[in-house]
């Protein structure tokens, strides 16, 4: 049964770091809002990541607005510390996060947005979609050619080497996830890594300082997609703290080029070589699924069309996208810049809304009374 709830000035969809940062700024401006989260706790995407994960951003650069990440500012937080920090953030600022409340559809009716979950309908003047930059696991079609006896996991389902069968393990994907998972597996398994396209390696620490100190101090982390350097940087993925050579020499991981075919238990690479595997970890990234948003703000590839998160549909925004505005847009320590910008846009929109609906409703009620 559907229950019509109070209307809100703003509904934020997603209770990860982006949604929480948004909530922080909306609360500071005194807006009436709610945050709808599909999972049973905030920051759920972090909880889904592998057990040994450590951030590549040190604690000093992993804080949301108004609450420093606890502990040594130069240390690299663990997955569980991030989950704990986000839960603490919600409590500290008393953010209205409605858990177990997945949004099933978002529509626009006249000048109101209608947000539907399983059993409720919310009405909002404005909506912020903060459902994350990494949503639906992407696995190439060659996965279907493998024998069912081969264990196959996407990196988002990988937790630890325990339970991964012995016999060669092939990690496919040369990004940060692929490298980190390969390092972990190499301690206990014969591990291979297939790198489809090489990413630019950057050291984690340079002369005793973290990479992000330099990116911050030089202003590179805040270069926007509208600048020439921002555009160049956004076209390149970076590999932080690893190199293919280091992986091979220090950890004994065997490297292969792109995986192009599979049959039975064998994977073929672009150099013609073949490998019989016992297990495969697909570290092949994610796609976005916005099929539940019935507002025409997407291009032909299903990507949101926006300018710094502001879409062409008045009052509809995105937050936390990769390179939404800068390299920092999808990082925990910098998402606040875009969140603050959107809070400003949201306030301006409210101030300019014709007659400000809230006042109209109140005066109608007054008359009736
Ligand atoms: C392996 C990995 C390591 C990373 N390491 C770092 C790092 O070291 N430092 C750093 O700064 N960044 C890192 N990132 C990048 C980024 O910080 C994270 O991806 C972060 O989780 C993004 O936060 P978010 O709030 O934008 O999205 P998410 O954390 O994905 O949160 C989105 C939330 O929306 C909810 N949701 C989705 N759909 C709906 C719906 N329809 N209705 C209601 N709720 C919904 C989800 O349940 C989720 O809780 C890493 C990313 C990955 C994948």
**What are 79-99's pLDDT values in tens digits?**
999 999 999 999 999 999 999
Candidate of 332, 336, 338 to mutate for ligand 1, largest count of ligand atoms within 8 Å of Cβ: 332
What's the burial of 15, exposed, middle or buried (CB within 10 Å: 0-12/13-18/19+)? buried
**Has residue 29 got a pLDDT over 90?**
yes
**pLDDT tier at 163 (50, 70, 90 boundaries)?**
confident
Write down the pLDDT at residue 198. 87
Atom of ligand 1 minimally distant from the CA of 286: 53
Among 140, 168, 139, CA closest to 154: 139
Candidate of 11, 12, 17 to mutate for ligand 1, largest count of ligand atoms within 8 Å of Cβ: 17
Write down the pLDDT at residue 358. 42
Facing residues of 283 across strands?
none
Among 196, 167, 330, CA closest to 255: 196
**pLDDT tier at 233 (50, 70, 90 boundaries)?**
confident
CA of 63 to the centre of ligand 1 (A): 14
Write down the pLDDT at residue 366. 31
Atom of ligand 1 minimally distant from the CA of 320: 26
Tokens of 1: 């049964």
Atom of ligand 1 minimally distant from the CA of 117: 42
CB-based contacts of 363: which residues, under 8 Å, 6+ apart? none
**Has residue 3 got a pLDDT over 70?**
no
Write down the pLDDT at residue 165. 86
Write down the pLDDT at residue 362. 39
CA of 41 to the centre of ligand 1 (A): 13
CA of 346 to the centre of ligand 1 (A): 23
Atom of ligand 1 minimally distant from the CA of 44: 49
Among 314, 322, 233, 339, CA closest to 17: 339
Q: How far apart are CA 107 and CA 94, in angstroms?
A: 28
Please give the average per-residue pLDDT across 112-117, as a whole number: 96
Residues with CB under 6 A from ligand 1: 13-19, 36-39, 44-46, 49, 55-57, 102-103, 130-134, 177, 320, 330-333
Q: How far apart are CA 349 and CA 119, in angstroms?
A: 29
Least confident window among 13-27, 62-76, 282-296, 350-364: 350-364
CB of 34 within 8 A of CB of 96? yes
Please give the average per-residue pLDDT across 275-301, as a whole number: 96
Q: Hey, CA dihedral for 285, 194, 76, 217, is it positive or negative? A: negative
Write down the pLDDT at residue 364. 37
Candidate of 11, 12, 14 to mutate for ligand 1, largest count of ligand atoms within 8 Å of Cβ: 14
CA of 46 to the centre of ligand 1 (A): 7
Percent of the chain whose predicted confidence (pLDDT) is above 90: 86
If you take atom 10 of ligand 1, which residue's CA is the nearest one? Answer: 331
**pLDDT tier at 356 (50, 70, 90 boundaries)?**
low
Write down the pLDDT at residue 355. 53
**pLDDT tier at 359 (50, 70, 90 boundaries)?**
very low
Candidate of 134, 216, 242 to mutate for ligand 1, largest count of ligand atoms within 8 Å of Cβ: 134
Write down the pLDDT at residue 191. 98
Radius of gyration of the chain (CA): 23
If you take atom 38 of ligand 1, which residue's CA is the nearest one? Answer: 131
Atom of ligand 1 minimally distant from the CA of 180: 1
Q: What is the pLDDT of residues 341-351, one digit of tens each?
A: 999 999 999 99
CA of 21 to the centre of ligand 1 (A): 12
CB of 132 within 8 A of CB of 322? no
If you take atom 27 of ligand 1, which residue's CA is the nearest one? Answer: 132
């Amino acid at each position: 049964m559907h229950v019509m709830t109070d209307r809100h000035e703003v509904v934020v969809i997603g209770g990860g770091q982006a949604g929480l940062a948004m909530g922080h700024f909306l609360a500071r401006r005194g807006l009436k809002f709610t945050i709808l989260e599909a999972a049973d706790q905030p920051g759920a995407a972090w909880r889904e990541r592998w057990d040994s994960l450590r951030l590549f951003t040190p604690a000093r650069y992993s804080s949301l607005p108004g609450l420093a990440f606890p502990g040594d500012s130069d240390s690299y937080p663990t997955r569980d510390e991030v989950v704990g920090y986000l839960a603490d953030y919600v409590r500290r600022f008393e953010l209205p996060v409605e858990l177990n409340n997945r949004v099933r559809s978002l529509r626009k009716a006249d000048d109101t947005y209608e947000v539907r979950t399983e059993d409720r309908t919310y009405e909002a003047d404005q909506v912020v979609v903060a459902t994350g930059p990494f949503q639906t696991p992407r696995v190439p079609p060659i996965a279907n050619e493998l024998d069912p006896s081969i264990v196959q996991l996407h990196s988002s389902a990988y937790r630890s080497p325990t339970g991964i069968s012995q016999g060669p393990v092939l990690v496919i994907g040369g990004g940060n996830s692929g490298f980190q998972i390969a390092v972990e597996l190499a301690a206990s398994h014969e591990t291979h890594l297939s790198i489809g396209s090489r990413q630019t390696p950057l050291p984690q620490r340079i002369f005793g300082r973290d990479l992000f100190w330099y990116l911050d101090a030089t202003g590179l982390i805040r270069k926007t997609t509208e600048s020439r350097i921002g555009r160049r940087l956004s076209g390149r993925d970076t590999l932080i703290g690893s190199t293919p050579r280091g992986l091979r020499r220090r950890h004994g991981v065997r490297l292969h080029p792109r995986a192009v075919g599979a049959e039975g238990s064998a994977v073929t690479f672009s150099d013609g070589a073949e490998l019989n595997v016992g297990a495969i970890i697909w570290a092949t990234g994610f796609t976005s699924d916005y099929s539940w948003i019935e507002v025409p703000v997407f291009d032909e590839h299903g990507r949101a069309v926006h300018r710094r998160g502001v879409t062409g549909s008045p009052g509809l925004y995105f937050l936390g996208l990769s390179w939404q505005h800068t390299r920092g847009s999808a990082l925990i320590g910098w998402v606040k810049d875009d969140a603050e910008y959107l809070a400003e846009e949201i306030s301006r929109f409210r101030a300019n809304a014709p007659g400000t609906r809230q006042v109209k409703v109140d005066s109608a009620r007054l008359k009736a009374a």
